[in-house]
Structures are given as C-alpha cells and as structure tokens.
Amino acid sequence: MKEFAGKVAVVTGAGSGFGREFARIGASLGMKLVLADIQADALAATASELQARGVALVAEQVDVSQAEDVERLARRTKEAFGKVHLLFNNAGVAAGGLVWEHSTRDWEWVLGVNLWGVIHGVRCFVPMMLEQGDECHVVNTASVAGLLSTQLMGVYNVSKHGVVTLTETLYNDLRLKGANVGVTLLCPAYVPTGINQSERNRPPEAQPEGEETESMKAARAAMDKAVTSGRISAEDVARMTFDAIRENRFYVVTHPKILSSVELRLQDIVAQRNPSDPFTFKKDVAVKKL
C-alpha cells in the first residue's frame, strides 16, 4: 500500500504508545480513522488532538479481549466509513514473574488482550477486507518476546509467540487465496510506550490474586528500567511500520542488534541442543539472581 489519503485505518490501543503514533501518522497522510482503546480518557485525548486538525474519525472504548467489543468496532467502522483498508491490531499489556507463579487471572488477562485481541481483530476485519477487494494491509503488534523466551516473562512470551505464528499463518493463508491484503508483523524491543504501566487498565475481575512475589517484583523493576531507558521512540517505531506497509514488508524488528539472540535460538533448535541463555549477548540487562 503506497497511497493512504482518503483510506480508512482502524487502530486498537490508540490512546497511547504505538497506537497513538500510528493514528497521528495516518492523520498526517489524510486517512480516516477508527480509534479504539480501553482507557477512555487516553482515547478521548488522542481523538480530540486529531479532530482539532480536522481529521474524520470515530472513537470507541473497546476491550479487545472481548469478542463482542471488537465485533461492535467492526460494525461501527462499516457504519461510519463503509470500508477498512489498514488495520493495526496493536493493544497490549504485560505481566512478569516466574512462569509457575502466575494465577489464571494473569494468564487470562494477558492472553486475552495480547493474543485474543489480535484473533478478534483478524476475525472481524479481514473478511471485510476480502469482501471489498481493495488493496488492504494488516499490522499485528507482537514483540521480540515472540522471537525469544526470556526468563521472568513467560505469560507475555506465550502471548507474543502466539501473535507471531498467527500472523505468519495469516500471511500464508492470504497468499493461498491470492488476496490483495498485505501483512506486517511488528516486533519491537523495549520502547517508552507505557506498557510497563499497563496494570492501570486491568479490569476488576482480572485483578491479581494474592501478594506480588519476589520474581514479579524483579520482573517489574527490570521492565520499568528497560522501557523507560529505551532509545527508540514510539514515533520512530510507527514510522518504521509505515515504511514496511509501503514496501509490503512482513517482518519489522525495530532493534536489529537483537537478531543475534534470535539467530542463536534458531541454531539451538536446528542443532537440537538445550536452549542458550536469551541474554547471552546482553548480560547487562538480565536479572542477576532471585
């Protein structure tokens, strides 16, 4: 997709981070926008900013983990603009700690947003794209956590590995159909997006059970440090993503230095040897000891 003016973009997680920057760039390119977020005040702030620039948009408070919310978003998109050309399945949350210490609430919340949110987006919007027959594009936000299995991030890793294989399969399925729909898999590392504060949007029924464990505290501290010290901005990542859309490029790994760790993991698999330490090349950022 090289032309954006007048086309319709749907963005989940539009209230902050990558989603807000996707919306800003889409607006600057003359797109019509459908913005979704679970956090009402953040969503309203993004919508107000762009409406002040004369952008045609609708904003819907949506919990992407809920099928009926995403189905409602798809209906609202069709009612408002008739079509969808660009879909950003972007909403995400994070939780960390030793993998066996997480409650079912932790698993259901993270998988619900990070994986089921993308599943619902694909299920609700890709059929619309195919029916239109127009040139369209889907961007699914995964993470380098979908390419590596770092310690203390098991729940998050599982959710993002799911997004990676879902997106790769989507690409192959669309190719099988000969569809005019491009696909991009976004795999950022740590970027100052506010994901380390995603507990702020955790629903009451998904609140943690029991006290925070030492491993959860260590994971949270490591994530806070990594996210807040990120040198690449959300705007930088959004621009990289739009470049990939223009080029019809599938993989976007925002921090190329991490590819050596990905390659090491693949070598482990091919050699059928035990997994290497994911922080082999980045020991300075690893949690030292629990």
Number of Cβ within a 10 Å radius of residue 79: 9
d(Cα 22, Cα 238) in Å, to the nearest integer? 6
Verify whether residue 190 is a known catalytic residue: no
The per-residue b/e assignment along 212-230, b for 16 or more CB within 10 angstroms, e otherwise, is eeebbebbbebbeeebeeb
d(Cα 142, Cα 144) in Å, to the nearest integer? 7
Q: What is the DSSP string of 94-108?
A: ---B-GGG--HHHHH
Listed as own residue / partner, the contacts of 208-211 with beta carbons closer than 8 Å and 24 or more positions apart are 208/103, 208/105, 208/106, 209/103, 209/105, 210/103
Residue 252 backbone phi and psi in degrees, to 5:
-125, 105
Cα 158–Cα 162–Cα 167 angle in degrees, nearest 5: 155
d(Cα 230, Cα 9) in Å, to the nearest integer? 27
Half-sphere CA count of 122, side-chain side, radius 13 A: 22
**Among 156, 171, 190, 251, which one carries the catalytic annotation?**
156
**Tokens at residue 217, please?**
């505290």
d(Cα 231, Cα 219) in Å, to the nearest integer? 20
- The candidate with the shortest Cα–Cα distance to 120, out of 68, 176, 61, is 68
d(Cα 39, Cα 220) in Å, to the nearest integer? 21
Residues involved in catalysis: 156
